[in-house]
Amino acid sequence: MLEIKDLRAAVNGVEILRGLNFSANAGEVHAIMGPNGSGKSTFAHVLSGKAGYEVLPGSQVRFQGRDLLELPAEERARLGLFLAFQYPVEIPGVTNANFLQTAANEIRESRGLDKLDALDFGDFLREKMAYVNVNPVMADRFVNHGFSGGEKKRNEILQLAVLEPSLAILDETDSGLDIDALRIVSEGVNKLRSPDRTFILVTHYQRLLSYVEPDFVHVLYKGQIVKSGGKDLALELEDKGYDWIKEEVDSNG
Amino acid sequence: MRSATNDNSGNRLTQMSSKDEQIDGTPYEGSRVEQSNREVADLAGQEYKYGWSTDIESDTFARGLNEDVVRAISARKGEPEWMTEWRLQAYRAWCGMQEPTWAKVRYARPDFQAISYYSAPKQQENPKSLDEMDPKLIETFEKLGIPLNEQKRLTGVAVDAVFDSVSVATTHRDILGKKGIIFCPISEALREHPELVKKYLGSVVPRGDNFYAALNSAVFSDGSFVYIPKGVKCPMDLSTYFRINAAQTGQFERTLIVADEGAQVSYLEGCTAPKRDENQLHAAVVELVAHAGATIRYSTVQNWYAGDEEGRGGIYNFVTKRGRCEENARISWTQVETGSAITWKYPSCILKGDNAVGEFYSVALTKGCQQADTGTKMLHVGKNTRSTIIAKTISAGRGDSSYRGLVHVAPTAANARSYTQCDSLLIGSQCGAHTFPYLDVRQPSASVEHEASTSKISEEQLFYCQSRGIRPENAISMVVNGFCKEVFDHLPMEFAVEASKLLSVSLEGSVG
Ligand SMILES: Nc1ncnc2c1ncn2[C@@H]1O[C@H](COP(=O)(O)OP(=O)(O)OP(=O)(O)O)[C@@H](O)[C@H]1O
Ligand SMILES: [Mg+2]
């Protein structure tokens, strides 16, 4: 469902993603780990179509049979791609409920489905809030406005539950969560796992992966996937850190 | 005097003096920041839906202004002698006045001798029924979405339709008349109810009040008159729809609304004009009188032609609106200003009686090359008077908006309370927003609060919305509508829906 070949992207003339190869099938959970500044968020942003990145020629990304790189961000979302932000954005004046209704309806419309009115959507939203354990009062709060760090992350999971994407990229959703919240968020992700939903979990911590068991673990370093393995790789990294991988890569390169 | 004093109640007083708040570090003139990446900027020319004109034979005065023109207008209207004299005195006062230059707007000064001061479609004035009306006029208003046929109208709104210098039809007069309510063109009121007009005309906005009010007093040709008798609650919303049609004419309408003791009325005003390359002047005066215990809600959706992308053409909207509240009375101004090349407008309240309440809820949008300098004046005279000001300013494209507001608390206004909130929203990096709050507090028991905020629709917000499948246009309209909600909540339902649509349409293409 996702196939990436030789993805190269630059910011302000500096190449951050430097020939990244990656592929995922429906229903798989992939963890991406890697040192700070290695390009994980950049990878997530480039996939979801954020402006300001120069994608270099030769890069290929196919998603659901489409050339992802030529689509504007909103069309990627309608195609089923979702990004849970490392730093969720505040939108004062717009309630979560209104925001999600607008989003859900635009996605529905693009798929030829009828729009949901405020009442029907309200029911749907309440159901999803209960499902991922988010306090119903959050529906009427402005999007992420004044939310605590942890509340913002949990709000991202709520959006994921509402928008039902086929590919969900979670950029450090586990960072900044307290122990209970981490468990709740992990449970949410586990509930949302399904044979036709793929997850890419960007994380620094093995802890998340002990709750949400990944099928694959990858290490992103200097803009490339330099190592891939099963869930044991994460344990190994937890134990040994990144130095041994960095040495391997730096001596080969 | 521009200073704030005490804050005895412990309330915040965040803004102490007049101050040009420079937003996002962009100086007003000259340096406009250019951004290289995809920008939330320039408005593609959104078509102005009401830019057509009606080809109709009219009786139009030659251009120019002098005492004879003033007399001729008065004569056309069949006015009593005292009214002609009133106009002439206004004219003489105007001759000695200077055009105000303190507003933060830049435009070519109108040539007052190049304007025609009277233009009326050739037809019988105030026809008894729609059958007597020129079908072209009926068609014009129908096309504007203002059917004059009572059966076709939305229930609950009576309308006075003003075309250039004259009122062409007023609906629902029979129903209203049964309650003793007078709703008619002001020219007719001058003939039918001269004692009322004489008593109230100029009692809130004196004829020499300011340059444009004086000009209006000399040459106003029509507008609406409303009188609600004691204790009567007007059974439907009243509205006036202003349409400028003729070229090179000015529109100078005069509205006078009197709510007698304990009366209640909600009044709506809408306006449009054809697209023309030259600027046209619209200088109106609105006077509201709320007697003891009365309530007047006055709502405006202003959508005059704004000029093209380069700033050619558009209406100069120089308006004086003011209301006087006796004790326990309430006046509430709600305005949504989206049109006009230049807007200069400060709907105000004189809170004369004890416990009087004044409110001002405003959304002003500037895009393209539009400039707006708008706000309010709340003059607290009576004890325990209260005022609330919520002003929302949206600037897009190269638009430039200023909020200018005065809160004056007289020594007599013990325990007066005033709250002001000014919020600016910037879309793109070439627009400007400024806040000029003036506080003049002369009563130590008063509490005056002012809060201001500026936000910008950021790239991050837009991307966040897009990443959820929301098109940038819809993201902007969602943010803007959220931003304006507090004001829209004060509009009558139908108007609120229209205002929300109007903003979305106005902002279409504002994403570069
Ligand atoms: N807009 C930008 N301008 C300049 N450099 C940038 C920009 N965005 C990202 N970078 C650089 O690209 C590199 C990769 O950043 P990225 O945010 O993708 O790292 P990351 O792997 O997500 O790190 P972390 O684990 O700290 O979240 C960093 O060196 C960062 O400074
Ligand atoms: Mg990151």
Closest among B249, B243, B222, B376 to B303, alpha carbons compared: B243
Which whole number is the average pLDDT over B207-214? Answer: 95
- Domain of B306 in residue numbering reads as 51-511
Contacts of B261 (CB under 8 A, 6+ apart): B230, B231, B291, B292, B293, B294
What kind and span of H or E run contains B190?
Answer: helix B186-192
Which whole number is the average pLDDT over B246-260? Answer: 88
Of B33-47, B91-105, B295-309, B356-370, the least confident = B33-47
| pLDDT at residue B39, as a whole number | 29
Of A69-73, B177-181, B278-282, the least confident = B278-282
Give the pTM.
0.80
Best interface-test mutation with A: which of B427, B451, B466, B504 has the largest number of A CBs within 10 A?
A: B466
Which whole number is the average pLDDT over B206-235? Answer: 94
Q: SS3 of A172, please?
A: coil
Residue B24 lies in a domain: no
Residue B472 lies in a domain: yes
Predicted confidence (pLDDT) at residue A227 exceeds the cutoff of 80: yes
| pLDDT at residue B38, as a whole number | 28
Where does the pLDDT of residue B123 fall: very low under 50, low under 70, confident under 90, or very high at 90 and above?
A: low
| pLDDT at residue A108, as a whole number | 94
Residue B270 lies in a domain: yes
Which whole number is the average pLDDT over B456-468? Answer: 93
Q: A157 CA to middle of ligand 2, Å?
A: 17
| Residues A99, B479: C-beta atoms closer than 8 Å | no
Distance CA B416, CA B354 (A): 9
| pLDDT at residue A217, as a whole number | 96
Minimum distance, in Å, between the CA of residue A98 and any CA atom of chain B: 8
Nearest CA to ligand 1 atom 16: A39
| pLDDT at residue B273, as a whole number | 67
Residue B346 lies in a domain: yes
Asked whether the beta carbons of B418 and B449 are under 8 A apart, the reply is: yes
The per-residue pLDDT for range B414-426, each reduced to its tens digit, is: 999 999 999 999 9
Distance CA B99, CA B126 (A): 34
Average pLDDT, chain B: 83
Predicted confidence (pLDDT) at residue B360 exceeds the cutoff of 80: yes
Nearest CA to ligand 1 atom 19: A37
Where does the pLDDT of residue B23 fall: very low under 50, low under 70, confident under 90, or very high at 90 and above?
A: very low
| Residues A95, B469: C-beta atoms closer than 8 Å | no
Which whole number is the average pLDDT over B138-162? Answer: 71
Which whole number is the average pLDDT over B256-282? Answer: 86
Q: What letters, b where the CB count within 10 A reaches 16 and e where it falls short, cover B26-60?
A: beeeeeeeeeeeebbbbbeebebebeebbebebeb
Q: How far is CA B440 from CA B1, B207, B360, B414, B477, in A?
A: 6, 25, 18, 14, 37
Which whole number is the average pLDDT over B289-297? Answer: 98
Which atom from ligand 1 is nearest to the alpha carbon of A38? Answer: 21
Distance CA B285, CA B280 (A): 17
Residue A142 in contact with partner chain B when CB distance is under 8 A: yes
| pLDDT at residue B244, as a whole number | 74
Question: Percentage of chain B surpassing pLDDT 90?
Answer: 49
Distance CA B254, CA A102 (A): 43
Asked whether the beta carbons of B167 and B57 are under 8 A apart, the reply is: no
Which whole number is the average pLDDT over B72-77? Answer: 92
Q: Check residues B387 and B78 and name the one with the higher pLDDT.
A: B387
Single-letter residue type at A85: F
Which whole number is the average pLDDT over B144-164? Answer: 70
Distance CA B196, CA B188 (A): 12
Asked whether the beta carbons of B456 and B24 are under 8 A apart, the reply is: yes
Residue B171 lies in a domain: yes
Which atom from ligand 1 is nearest to the alpha carbon of A45? Answer: 18
Contacts of B341 (CB under 8 A, 6+ apart): B107, B279, B306, B307, B311, B313, B314, B315, B316, B369, B370, B371
| Residues A74, B37: C-beta atoms closer than 8 Å | no
Q: Check residues B23 and B272 and name the one with the higher pLDDT.
A: B272
Predicted confidence (pLDDT) at residue B45 exceeds the cutoff of 70: no
Q: How far is CA B142 from CA A115, B129, B161, B339, in A?
A: 32, 16, 11, 21
| Residues B468, A98: C-beta atoms closer than 8 Å | no
Asked whether the beta carbons of B47 and B308 are under 8 A apart, the reply is: no
Q: What letters, b where the CB count within 10 A reaches 16 and e where it falls short, cover B497-510?
A: ebbbebbbbbbebb
| Residues A98, B478: C-beta atoms closer than 8 Å | yes
Residue B414 lies in a domain: yes
Q: Which ligand is nearest to the CA of A32?
A: 1
Residue B8 lies in a domain: no
Predicted confidence (pLDDT) at residue A253 exceeds the cutoff of 70: no
Single-letter residue type at B8: N
Contacts of A219 (CB under 8 A, 6+ apart): A32, A33, A34, A225, A226, A227, A228, A233, A237, A242, A245
Of A79-88, A117-126, B299-308, the least confident = B299-308
Q: A171 CA to middle of ligand 2, Å?
A: 7
Residue A55 in contact with partner chain B when CB distance is under 8 A: no
| pLDDT at residue B109, as a whole number | 87
Q: Check residues B275 and B117 and name the one with the higher pLDDT.
A: B117
Which whole number is the average pLDDT over B32-49? Answer: 36
Question: DSSP readout, B294-353?
Answer: -EEEEEEEE------TT--SEEEEEEEEEEEE-TT-EEEEEEEE---SEEEE--EEEE-S
Chain A residue with CA closest to B457: the answer is: A91
List all residues whose CB is within 6 A of at least one atom of ligand 1: A 11-12, 16, 34, 36-42, 86
Predicted confidence (pLDDT) at residue B22 exceeds the cutoff of 60: no
Predicted confidence (pLDDT) at residue A52 exceeds the cutoff of 50: yes
The structural domains of chain A, ordered by start, are: 2-91+144-252 (3.40.50.300)
Residue A116 in contact with partner chain B when CB distance is under 8 A: no
Asked whether the beta carbons of B352 and B383 are under 8 A apart, the reply is: no
| pLDDT at residue B51, as a whole number | 74
Which whole number is the average pLDDT over B369-384? Answer: 95
Beta strand residue intervals within A14-113, DSSP E: 14-24, 29-33, 54-55, 60-63, 66-67, 81-84, 91-95
Residue B200 lies in a domain: yes
Residue with tokens 């101004």: B333
**B14 phi and psi angles, rounded to 5 deg:** -85, -25
Closest among B338, B409, B335 to B375, alpha carbons compared: B335
Closest among B438, B411, B412, B428 to B366, alpha carbons compared: B428
Q: B311 CA to middle of ligand 1, Å?
A: 43
Rounded-to-10 torsion of CA A238, A242, A247, A248: 60
Where does the pLDDT of residue B41 fall: very low under 50, low under 70, confident under 90, or very high at 90 and above?
A: very low
Q: Which residues of B sit within 8 Å Cβ distance of A?
A: 37-38, 455, 458-461, 463-472, 474, 478-479, 482-483, 485
Which atom from ligand 1 is nearest to the alpha carbon of A220? Answer: 21
Q: How many domains does chain B have?
A: 1
